[in-house]
Amino acid sequence: MFLASYRKLKKHGVVGLNHRNISLIQKLNRRDLYPLVDNKLKTKELAQKAGIPIPALLGIIEEQHSAEALIASLPTDQGFVIKPARGSSGKGVMVVPKQKMDRKGVVRYQKSNGRLMERSDVLHHISNIISGLYSLGGYRDIAMVEELVKPHPFFDPIAWEGLPDVRIVVMRGYPIMAMIRLPTSHSQGRANLHQGAVGVGINIATGVMTTGVQFNRLVSEHPDTLVEFGGLRIPEWRKQLEMAASCYEMTGLGYLGCDIILDAQRGPLLLELNARPGLNIQIANNQGLGINVAKAAEWLELEESPAERVSRAIAAFGGGEEPLPEEEPARAYAGV
């Protein structure tokens, strides 16, 4: 029975952990380059040099004694995000959408779930980040304070109290599979699948959303808004593909998960990179990753620009779908 199941999965191109680790990550990613993506500060520096847009960095905190001055200096009319430079899977990220001042003139900080915090709560969280509570390996870390990105209005009906992000897996700069992660009430507004966000597959050629998955179960609508996402087309899709493709030159890593967010004013922004992208993207797309990996392997000796690589991937992985003009939506939301 096990052998039959294994053969069936292999036939459909399903990639398992061993295959991913040995044939993709170890083969295509040099270990000395991992710090470029494991450290979000280094990723930001690389992106700035490469001209890839990123969320603005408001400050960094390396020592606890400098935390209060930086937090106090932030304009009270804007939100912000605190995250560990070496964190993973969304651990240690604190989103503060609003700051409020009480009758005594004391600033309070509102989390995504609406709960108000004292400044001491924020400083305690920063202390935990610096001590390495959320870092890879538990090593001492740096707290980053970033601007709060305002989600594109496209996402209003299909996300709950949070910021969706697009994950594009690239192999030597060729986009081979993509999905979007939608925050839910169960994930408390976070776009992390293991916390309950919904992952939805994306057609590479068109940017159209297809099947969805939550907790490894197929879903067709957002569990909180009940809006069906199949057939919806993500704005500025070609730009996001080219951004992800450019990360190969930027880092030198041949197998990457590129996480991109869509800001209401600035458009696509590179959020972070992952040298060990997970495999749930196969469930979201209802397709094995190995089929696209095998195809992309035929192109690895070609010398093409990011734009040329995107065009080749669109032609190969679009499932026969013709790319849509950027201004043409796939369909409108019903009743929105």
Rounded Cα gap, residues 189 and 174, in angstroms: 30
* pLDDT for position 28: 96
CB 222 within 8 A of CB 236: no
Angle between helices 306-317 and 237-251 (to 10 degrees): 120
Residue 138, number of CB atoms within 10 A of its CB: 11
Q: What confidence score (pLDDT) does residue 314 get?
A: 96
Taking the alpha carbons at both ends of the chain, their separation in whole angstroms is 48
Identity of residue 27: K
- 279-304 as b/e: b if 16+ CB within 10 A: ebbbbbbebbbbbbbebbeebeeeee
What is the C-alpha to C-alpha distance for residues 142 and 302, in angstroms, rounded to an integer?
A: 39
- Percent residues over pLDDT 90 in the chain: 66
**pLDDT band of 196, cuts 50, 70, 90:** confident
Is residue 17 over pLDDT 70? yes
pLDDT digit string, tens, across residues 28-38: 999 999 999 99
List, in order of start, the domains of the chain with CATH numbers. Answer: 15-53+151-317 (3.30.470.20), 57-147 (no CATH)
pLDDT on residue 91: 85
pLDDT top residue among 141 and 321 = 141
- What pLDDT does residue 6 have? 52
Q: Where are the alpha helices (DSSP H) in 136-279?
A: 237-251
The pLDDT value recorded for residue 199 is: 93
Q: Which residue has the higher pLDDT, 138 or 36?
A: 36
> What's the pTM?
0.90
Model confidence over 66-95: pLDDT tens digits? 999 999 999 888 899 999 999 887 789 999
pLDDT of residue 1: 39
Is 173:123 a contact under the CB 8 Å cutoff? no
Q: Distance between CA atoms of 211 and 231, rounded to whole angstroms?
A: 9
pLDDT tens sequence across 313-327: 999 997 655 555 554
